[in-house]
Amino acid sequence: MRIKAALAFIVFLAIFTFPMVAVAQELVQDKYEKLKARVVEVVNEGVEFIPGTEVEHDIQTLRAEILEGESKGQIIQLVNDLVMLDKGNKFYLSRVTHWDSNIIQYGVADPYRGTALWLLTIMFIIATVVFGGKQGLRGLLSLAGSFAVIAFVLIPGILAGHSPVLVAVGVSSLIIVLGSYVTHGFNKTTTAAVVGMIATVSLVGLLAKLSIGWASLTGFGADEAVYLNFSSGGTIDLAGLLLGGILIGLLGVMYDAAIGQAVSVEELHRVAPHLPRRTIYARAVRIGREHIGALVNTLAIAYVGASLPLLLMFSYTSESAGLILNREIFATEIVRTMVGSIGLILTVPATTMIAVLMLVKPKRADEETIEAEKRALEHASAHHGHSHG
């Protein structure tokens, strides 16, 4: 009987106590912090094998001073196997306080990169202003405005649950308008480029949406998308977010093509105002074709460069090329490259057509007759003078 009573008591604890502990574990979480620190002393350094592999990695023991927060000034000791640091180096440490035991664990989260980032930014600004002059300064203002729109409109709009597709198209159009007029001023040439870009972005947005459906892309190809999905509780449309990323990533190169085509139309008309719209369109598109080749190549190579570590990783597998390319992480980049390239190609004829309609006035029949007669007289006069000589 005592044994049966003991077993019954154990079952009672299992049924009623363990769920309570599980609930407590769900409600109470470890405290995670990131704090800036500085290396006071490198205690020792060495090399270890990663458990279960034959890969070596560097490891060191550090004494560091915490530079911020409630523990500012505290000296701690920790093991670092992330990036080797020297005495005096700043870094961000991770401090985890376990809720059940109050045990604190320290680790190196990231080296401090602020100095390098600020230095490169200052060099970029100086180079842009010195060699770009007034136009370069306008470009910097345009860039700052674009970042502001992304930070205060695009990201909050998506986090608020709005359609990433509509938000991305709207923000792209806003960036186009802001960047173009700030950089190139308010004139017909800029307006032609703006209208051409907005029209192309709308078409590319539709194509991107169809392409994501055709390729059955979910938006979960990258690790950060998975983390975002958990952090947002699954409220963000990741496929739509992928589409928005395609549009935003295309803007810079599309901007270059559109402005170039609008200026080409303006200059051709200024040099040869007697040429009809059809001729100017054909000549400007001829210029744009040369531009398309370089821009498409630039876009594709940029995407390949961003995916280079991934390409190297899959080169070690025995899977076929077709199977590798079918993976979502690769298929996503292919769709991104193809849709972006189609957008660039469409930018040239669309912007050129709009620029011709806006910048080149159509000639009336009587004007064309007068121009033809004037050219005929000039030709005859030149021929007569040559014969007389």
pLDDT of residue 15: 45
pLDDT of residue 364: 59
pLDDT band at 24 (very low <50, low <70, confident <90, very high): very low
Q: pTM here?
A: 0.69
Selected residue with higher pLDDT from 136 and 321: 136
Question: CB neighbours of 45 closer than 8 A, spacing ≥ 6?
Answer: 58, 59, 60, 61, 84
Reported as half-sphere exposure (CB side, CA atoms, 13 A), residue 266 has a value of 14
Look up the CATH number of domain 31-112: 2.40.50
- Mean of the pLDDT values across residues 132-141? 87
Residues 39-88: pLDDT tens digits? 999 999 888 887 777 788 889 999 999 999 888 999 999 998 888 999 99
Euclidean distance between CA atoms 218 and 225, whole angstroms: 10
- Asked whether the predicted pLDDT for residue 252 surpasses 60, the reply is yes
For the beta carbon of residue 378, count every other beta carbon within 10 angstroms.
10
Selected residue with higher pLDDT from 181 and 312: 181
Look up the CATH number of domain 123-360: 1.20.1640
Using CA atoms, how far residue 1 sits from 9, 12, 14, 30, 145, in Å, is 12, 16, 20, 43, 80
Starting at the earlier edge strand, list the strands of the sheet with 31-49.
75-80, 56-66, 31-49, 90-97, 104-111
Reported as half-sphere exposure (CB side, CA atoms, 13 A), residue 326 has a value of 5
Average pLDDT, the chain: 80
pLDDT band at 121 (very low <50, low <70, confident <90, very high): very high
Rg (CA), the chain: 32
**Nearest 10 degrees: Cα torsion 358, 359, 364, 368:** -150
Euclidean distance between CA atoms 237 and 211, whole angstroms: 16
What are the structural domain ranges in the chain?
Answer: 31-112, 123-360
pLDDT of residue 31: 81
- Asked whether the predicted pLDDT for residue 295 surpasses 80, the reply is no
Selected residue with higher pLDDT from 164 and 200: 200
- Asked whether the predicted pLDDT for residue 25 surpasses 50, the reply is no
- Mean of the pLDDT values across residues 215-223? 77
Question: CB neighbours of 257 closer than 8 A, spacing ≥ 6?
Answer: 288, 291, 292, 295, 344, 347, 348, 351
- Mean of the pLDDT values across residues 121-130? 93
Residues 80-120: pLDDT tens digits? 888 899 999 999 999 988 877 778 889 898 999 999 999 99
